[in-house]
Amino acid sequence: MKFVKESVIRATPERVFAFHELPDAFQRLVPPWENATVVQLADISVIGSQAIIEQKIFGLVPSRWVAEHTAYDPPRFFEDVQVSGPFKSWRHRHYIDPHADGAILRDEIEFEPPLGPLGALAAPIFIEPKIAKMFDYRHEVTRKWCEDEA
C-alpha cells in the first residue's frame, strides 16, 4: 500500500530540510492525540541511526517501533525504514523539492499492514485515515516553523 502527502511550504528547501534536522524535530511532529513515547531519538544525518518509539495502538495494545535511517541527501531527501514494529513493512521517504513559492514537502510511505488479508481489508477504514490525519498535522507543524520563524 502507498500513502503520499504533499504540501507547498513558503520557505527554501534548505530551511524545510533544516527543520527535520532539529534535535527535537520528531517530538514536534508527534501529534498530541498520539499515545507515543520517544525512547531513543535518531540523527537523520547518520545512516543506521535508529529511533525507538513506544505507543499503544488504538490506546490499548502496547507496541515498540524501531525505525532506522537508511538514506540522507540534504537538502532534498532522507529515508527511514521500520526494523520492527506494528506494520509488516514500512518505508518512509521524505522529499523536499524546489517550488516557485518555496519548497514542496512530500512524504511517501510504502507499507504493509499487519494481519495479512484482514489487515489489508481494515487498512482503508482504520490505518489510512489515521496516517492521513497524522501527516496533515506533521505538515502543518513543519509549515508553521518554516514560514513563521523565517
Q: What is the pLDDT of residue 149?
A: 64
Q: Which structural domain, as residue segments, surrounds residue 110? A: 2-30+70-148
Distance CA 145, CA 133 (A): 19
SS3 (DSSP) at 113:
coil
Q: Please compute the mean of the pLDDT values over residues 137-145 and round it to a whole number.
A: 98
Q: What is the pLDDT of residue 146?
A: 97
What are 53-75's pLDDT values in tens digits?
A: 999 877 788 999 999 999 999 99
Count Cβ atoms within 10 A of the Cβ of residue 100 and give its class: 0-12 exposed, 13-18 middle, 19 or more buried: exposed
Percent of the chain whose pLDDT exceeds 90: 90
The model's pTM: 0.93
Q: What is the pLDDT of residue 60?
A: 81
Query: In this structure, what CATH number is given to the domain that contains residue 8?
Result: 3.30.530.20
Q: What is the pLDDT of residue 56?
A: 86
Q: In this structure, is residue 53 part of a structural domain?
A: no
Listed residue (77, 62, 21) closest to 45, CA to CA = 21
Distance CA 28, CA 103 (A): 20
